[in-house]
Amino acid sequence: MTHSYDSEDKLIVAVDCIIFGFDAKEGLKILLIRRRFEPKKGHWSLMGGFLKKNETLDEAAYRVLKKLTGLNQLHLEQLEAYSEVDRDPVERTISTAYSALINTNKYDEALLEQYEAQWFSVTKIPKLIFDHDQMVERAIRRLRSKATTQPIGLELLPEKFTMKQLQTLYETILGETLDKRNFIKKILSIDVLIKLEEKDMTSSKKGSYLYKFDLKKYDDKSKVNFFFNSIKF
């Protein structure tokens, strides 16, 4: 005998996406949009949307990001679900949070204007709607944890970058100043970088060597946890 679901409560399911980007001058950023409908119309919000009947949570998250950023080859990480009964004042809504890392230069500027989106430093995030502040805090903690156990930077840095840019990225994520010598020693020990003959001549007369990631090694190291903090900075 088939059980009927008619008597069960019907709930709305949503996805909310925390999109991080990196700016060499301003550090780690997060992309937010102005909410266009009530409640909380005009307030800052994460990029989100509702799950459709014919899609999975992952598919919904990719659809939302494609619509709002124009990007369709992002790596999304599912974080956790939020199910407080009164988290959305309109309807009982359960939301699953996702995080993504993108190069800020690749974002579609037209969409930025269309959806009133804006990049904010993670140190200057405005008050967000509902429990989105909690989602962002969780995503930042996860990113910091990831930075100590896996390579970071492929999605955030340009294809060619300086060691200083890479160190700035780690310092921004970890929220602390790192010793230059120890940082270089640790990064090189991970063995995911290729040193190029080219130099960035904008930083000094002598210039700084450029690096790029060895994609094969980067992918391999991303699958096996090392401990970045095993060498004290």
List, for residues 215-232, the tens digit of each pLDDT value.
Answer: 999 998 887 776 555 444
Q: Could you tell me which residue, 203 or 54, shows the higher pLDDT?
A: 54
Record the pTM.
Answer: 0.87
134 and 61 in a single domain? The answer is: yes
Would you say residue 74 lies in a domain? yes
Looking at the fold, whether 138 and 166 belong to one and the same domain comes out as no
Domain end residue (candidates: 100, 123, 147)? 147
Residue 63: burial class (beta carbons within 10 Å; 0-12, 13-18, 19+): middle
In terms of C-beta density within 10 A (0-12 exposed, 13-18 middle, 19 or more buried), how is residue 110 classed? Answer: exposed
Across the range 42-56, mean pLDDT stands at 95
Largest CA distance in the chain: 80
- pLDDT (average), residues 148-177: 91
Mean pLDDT of the residues in the chain: 88
Asked whether residue 73 falls in the same domain as residue 136, the answer is: yes
* Same structural domain, 101 and 61: yes
State yes or no: pLDDT of 17 exceeds 70: yes
| Residue 222 to residue 227: CA distance in whole angstroms | 12
Q: Of 117, 147, 177, which marks where a domain is finished?
A: 147
Supply the CATH number for residue 199's domain: 1.10.10.10
Residues 56 and 167 in one domain: no
In-domain check, residue 167: yes
Q: Report if residue 190 sits inside a domain.
A: yes
127 and 17 in a common domain? yes
- In 3D space, the residue among 28, 133, 111 whose CA is nearest the CA of residue 64 turns out to be 111
Q: 49 versus 229: which is more confidently predicted?
A: 49
> Does a cis peptide bond (omega within 30 degrees of 0) precede residue 39?
yes
The tokens for 9 are 């409560």
Q: For residue 123, give the CATH number of its domain.
A: 3.90.79.10
Q: What's the domain count of the chain?
A: 2
How many angstroms separate the CA atoms of 11 and 77, rounded?
24
Residue bearing the bigger pLDDT, 24 or 88: 88
Any domain includes 120:
yes
Q: What is the pLDDT of residue 230?
A: 45
Cα angle for residues 14, 11, 1 (degrees, 5° grid): 125
- Shared-domain flag, residues 120 and 218: no
Nearest partner of 75 among 20, 1, 144, 157, judged by Cα = 20
Burial class (CB in 10 A: 0-12, 13-18, 19+), 153: buried
Q: Is residue 4 part of a domain?
A: no
Task: Verify that 130 and 177 share a domain, yes or no.
Answer: no
Examine the domain organization and report whether 132 and 180 are in the same domain.
no
Residues 17 and 119 occupy one common structural domain: yes
Q: Residue 67's CB: how many other CB atoms inside 10 A?
A: 13
In the structure, what pLDDT confidence band is assigned to residue 115 with cuts at 50, 70 and 90? confident
**Which whole number is the average pLDDT over 87-97?**
96
Instruction: Note whether residue 99 is domain-resident.
Output: yes
Domain boundary among 147, 172, 207: 147
Q: Check pLDDT > 80 for residue 14.
A: yes
- AA identity, residue 125: I
Give domain status of residue 155, yes or no.
Answer: no
**Spatial CA neighbour of 31 closest among 90, 106, 91:** 106
135 with 170, same domain: the answer is no
Tokens, residue 97: 């949070």
Q: What pLDDT, in 10s, does the model give residues 56-79?
A: 999 999 999 888 877 777 889 999
Q: Give the orientation angle of helix 132-147 with respect to helix 163-174, to 10 degrees.
A: 130
Q: Do residues 68 and 169 both lie within one domain?
A: no
Q: In this predicted structure, what is the pLDDT of residue 232? A: 45
Selection from 48, 26, 160, 200 nearest residue 104 by Cα: 26
Residue 70: what pLDDT?
A: 79
pLDDT at 226: 65
Extract the tokens encoding 128: 């967000």
The pLDDT, as a whole number, for residue 5 is 85
The percentage of residues in the chain with a pLDDT greater than 90, rounded to a whole number, is 58
Segments forming the whole domain that contains residue 218:
161-230
What's the pLDDT at 22? 87
Catalytic residue annotation: 116
